[in-house]
Amino acid sequence: MDVGQRLTDQNFPESPEKATLEGKNKFLGFWLFLGGETVLFATLFGTYLGLRNSFGKGPEASEIFQLPIVFIATMILLTSSLTSVYAVLALKENRVKAMRGWFFVTLLLGVAFLGLEIYEFVHYVHEGHTFTSGAFGSAFYTLVGFHGGHVLFGVLWIAALLVRNSGRGLTLYNSPKYYLFALYWHFVDVVWVFIFTVVYLMGKVG
């Protein structure tokens, strides 16, 4: 079967994302990439944990962190992880409209998260907590900013996928692409779980 051919309910494989060799390779390669990403974020977390009390000229973490906004951001990202799971379930049932709808909701929630983060960073800078105010500031913006960069990349990725495949059904060619985005998005949420725990909650109690 041609990989670009629209799948029907009759010939729909159980795992369309792994039905071709290319799909299998992408699946394995992406998981190995996520293993590498884990180490990348570990270096940033380790650095942050080492420097988190070196405030320099800036304010202390417990003074500036605002838990309500972090809580809302956490809920937004958690919900977006659920919507991308719904999208993958729809993918496995060959319901392409539902899948694209859930991915679009995921995209909107990602944008909302980025908006909150930008608002938060602007607020911190006004409070004197900047990239150069101390080692804490440098480590904080590098770690949280790197995660925000991953969210931004994910938003651009799914936007590109949705635009490129608009009006197209699911094929053996585009199913792995959608599936891998969902994996990436879950991983970004996993990193955030540690950021709100290690950076914000631990920063609040010192």
Nearer to other proteins, 79 or 125 (CB): 79
Instruction: Decide if residue 95 touches other proteins (CB under 8 A).
Output: no
Nearer to other proteins, 104 or 196 (CB): 196
One character per residue 22-41, x = contact with other proteins (rule: CB under 8 A): -----xx--xx-xxxxxx-x
Three-class DSSP labels, the chain:
CCCCCCCCCCCCCCCHHHCCHHHHHHHHHHHHHHHHHHHHHHHHHHHHHHHCCCCCCCCCHHHHCCHHHHHHHHHHHHHHHHHHHHHHHHHHCCCHHHHHHHHHHHHHHHHHHHHHHHHHHHHHHHCCCCCCCCHHHHHHHHHHHHHHHHHHHHHHHHHHHHHHCCCCCCCCCCHHHHHHHHHHHHHHHHHHHHHHHHHHHHHHHC
Nearer to other proteins, 131 or 194 (CB): 194
Instruction: Decide if residue 80 touches other proteins (CB under 8 A).
Output: no
Q: How many residues bind other proteins (CB under 8 A)?
A: 49
Instruction: Decide if residue 197 touches other proteins (CB under 8 A).
Output: yes
Binding residues for other proteins (CB under 8 A): 14-15, 18, 27-28, 31-32, 34-39, 41-43, 45-47, 49-51, 67, 71, 74-75, 78, 81-82, 85-86, 89, 92-93, 183, 186-187, 189-190, 193-194, 196-198, 201-202, 204-206
